[in-house]
A and B are shown apart, each in its own frame.
Chain A
Amino acid sequence: MKPCLAPLIAAACLAGLAACAPPPQQQAPVVDPYANMGSGALYQGGLPGGALGGEASAEYFRAQVGDTVQFAAEQTTLSAEARATLSRQAQWLNRHADFNAVVQGHAEETGTREYNLALGARRASAVQEYLIAQGVPASRIRTLSFGKERPAAVCSDEACYAQNRRVVTVVTPAGPGT
């Protein structure tokens, strides 16, 4: 699990570790993504340029911008770290208007199949809203949920569950007619 970046997130991390404890607290499905945003403040490191076929490529987006954000167990709230990643995604998408994005939500395996589809959709929607708030036109972003069908890591403990509670932004060049 990645280090907690702020007290706000520490609570979420704790909730993540205690994945099976009673729910931390009742909470609105999607917390206001604009609160305490601090966009850019957590921007981490410079980006090596020129690698992987240039900046205007899906490969660059995935490897250098960062295509994945993670969530605490059963949560759909964006962490500070997630918001930093999404701000970079938004900047990249705003620079490359010829790319569209499919935002894919996922959930860990400890949940029922159908609930996890809905949970993944909620996570994808939280990411989509954030990207839109950062200036990416809504028409360029579609959402999709895979629920627990496509885990990124396959072990059955928190190390893998944390990686699987994620939203992946997949960018593709906008073709004619799209």
Chain B
Amino acid sequence: MFRTLTVALILGFGSTALTALPLAAQDGPLRIEITDGVVEPMAIAIADFHGDSEAAQQIRRVVADDLTGTGLFREIPSEAMIAQPDSFAAAVAYEDWRAVNAQALVTAEVTRSGEEISVKFRLFDVFAGQPLGDGMQFDARAGDWRRAAHKIADQIYSRLTGEQPYFDSRIAFVQETGPKDARIKRIGVMDYDGQNIRWMTDSSSLVLAPHFSPDGRQLLYTSFDSGFPQIRAMDVATVTSRPLTQGGDSMAFSPRFSPDGRWIVYSLEQGGNTDIWLMDAATGAQRPLAQSPAIETSPSFSPDGKRVVFESDRSGTPQLYIMPVTGGEPTRISFGEGRYGTPAWSPKGDMIAFTKRLGDKFHIGVMRTDGSDEKILTESFLDEGPTWAPNGRVVMFTRVTPGGNGEPRLHSVDITGRNMRPLKLDFAASDPSWGPLLR
């Protein structure tokens, strides 16, 4: 049986209208479990894609890069393959794939008519000798071929790991150029793998820390364009922004949306003291949430929208606290050695990622929401600001190298602590914000 999924192509960045398709029952025997133990990557054979040769090769490469980039899959080299299928419809010669120790096999066909491309793919469990889930077809505008590739890789990843997918998603970030003491910063949005960069701001004013809205259509960020740090909202599709806070004698920064998009939680500084405030995104009405004579900043909503985790130095050093969004007394959750900051609540709701400073090193780590099971994932001179992949399996963060020529780069790591890797970009970048899975 074949299912067709139309990737309604996005002309503008961010405005998407993709028909969601329920996955077929996929209780196949082949599955890679993502656990803390050492994992032998699953050997996956991606047969040459049939059809329009240039597009087929490009799409195949992106699918392969998505899968191997997780560290969970090992690609069987084409040279090792005994025989390629004669056609997409041909019966699979399982023996040939078993002989090269492929555990899973992907076959696909790309057809192009005018400005439309269509990609069909199938996934097979080689040793069981049977398909793994239904075949699927993605239709897309030719310019969106990368999205079609990410959609296919997402299907394969999801069927083989049992996890939600994340490849067809975007990341907002800050590009950094110029010398360290006069840095020029610009907000951009790109595919999760660093491709298709769109610039959201020019270089005329200092901008910091963009954060996606839950639907991926807006960015909240901090801008110095008035001369003083204030919060602005950017419409990603039209690349137009508007101020959410006004100057006066206070500074506003560190904004994040609530999961339903109705609220914005942020830091407001008044008379030198920084507290956490809530803003009604529709009316702009503002009220304090967490107040003390200490610094309160870097708030993040729980995915059910009922609680907020934030950073406060009310104990003498920066630590993590959780409180109900309706108000009340914050509960401290970080008790390990060192200083904790920039908490980010996982989209699954079970974990909080954070920045930790201990001795002269910085770390990215994760802990349960009650502070237990703290796990340190990284270590360097300066790691900062984790953001979660939409499926809660991977975090991306900023790693800064030391010295006068030091610069930030984006890295990602699996929450098991494996597969640390830099994002391939040909410029320095910081402050990643991982947007939602696109529809």
Q: A-side interface residues toward B, CB under 8 Å?
A: 19-20, 22-23, 25-30, 109-115, 117-119, 121-122, 124-126, 128-129, 142-145, 149-156
Contact = CB atoms under 8 A, between A and B. Distances in A.
A25 B317 CA distance: 9
User: Of residues B229, B294, B317, which shows the largest number of chain A Cβ atoms within 10 Å of its Cβ?
Assistant: B229
B381 interface: yes
Given A113-B384, A156-B403, A145 B295 contact: no
Interface stretch (B124-132, B146-154, B180-188, B368-376): B180-188
A12 to B, nearest CB: 15
A124 B272 contact: yes
A115 B253 CA distance: 10
A112 B341 contact: yes
B403 A149 contact: no
Given A145-B269, A150-B182, A155-B403, A112 B274 contact: no
Contacts of A154: 179-181, 403-404, 406
A23 B359 CA distance: 11
B249 interface: yes
A56 B206 CA distance: 31
B297 A115 contact: yes
B437 interface: no
A132 B406 CA distance: 38
B208 A149 contact: yes
B111 to A, nearest CB: 47
A113 B297 CA distance: 10
Nearest to B174: A113
Given A23-B317, A112-B355, A115-B297, A149 B381 contact: no
A156 B365 CA distance: 23
Given A144-B227, A144-B251, 16 more contacts: A20-B360, A29-B272, A109-B382, A112-B342, A112-B355, A115-B341, A117-B254, A117-B269, A122-B295, A142-B228, A144-B228, A145-B251, A154-B404, A154-B406, A155-B403, A156-B406
A20 to B, nearest CB: 4
A46 to B, nearest CB: 32
Given A115-B297, A154-B181, A26 B315 contact: yes
B298 A27 contact: no
Contacts of B191: none
B271 interface: yes
Contacts of B313: 115
Nearest to A141: B249
A129 B272 CA distance: 10
B433 to A, nearest CB: 13
Contacts of B209: 113-114
A125 B423 CA distance: 39
Q: Which of A121, A122, A124, A149 has the most CB of B within 10 A?
A: A121
Contacts of A23: 316-317
Interface in B302-344: 311, 313, 315-318, 337, 341-342
B316 A25 contact: yes
A151 B355 CA distance: 21
Nearest to B185: A149
Nearest to A145: B251
Contacts of A115: 295, 297-298, 311, 313, 318, 341
10 contacts: A19-B360, A29-B273, A110-B357, A117-B297, A125-B272, A125-B273, A149-B183, A150-B181, A154-B179, A154-B181
Nearest to B183: A149
Given A109-B400, A112-B385, A29 B269 contact: no
Contact of B385 (A22, A113, A150, A156): A113
A117 B273 contact: no
Interface string B396-435: 0000101110100000000000000000000000010000
A155 B273 contact: no
Contacts of A110: 357, 360, 362, 382
A153 B181 CA distance: 7
A118 B292 CA distance: 13
A117 to B, nearest CB: 5
Contact of A114 (B182, B254, B406): B254
B293 interface: yes
A122 B269 CA distance: 9
B267 interface: yes
Q: Which of A113, A142, A149 has the most CB of B within 10 A?
A: A113
A27 B315 CA distance: 9
A112 B298 contact: yes
A122 B382 contact: no
> Which of B254, B269, B402, B403 counts the most A-chain CB atoms under 10 A from its CB?
B269
A122 B297 CA distance: 13
Given A145-B251, A149-B208, A29 B229 contact: no
Contacts of B272: 29-30, 121-122, 124-126, 128-129, 143
A119 B381 contact: no
Contacts of B298: 112, 114-115
A153 B342 CA distance: 25
A125 B271 contact: yes
A153 B404 CA distance: 8
A118 B206 contact: no
Nearest to B315: A26
B294 A29 contact: yes
A177 B138 CA distance: 62
Contacts of A144: 227-229, 251
Contacts of A27: 316
Interface in B243-259: 249, 251, 253-254
Nearest to A119: B295
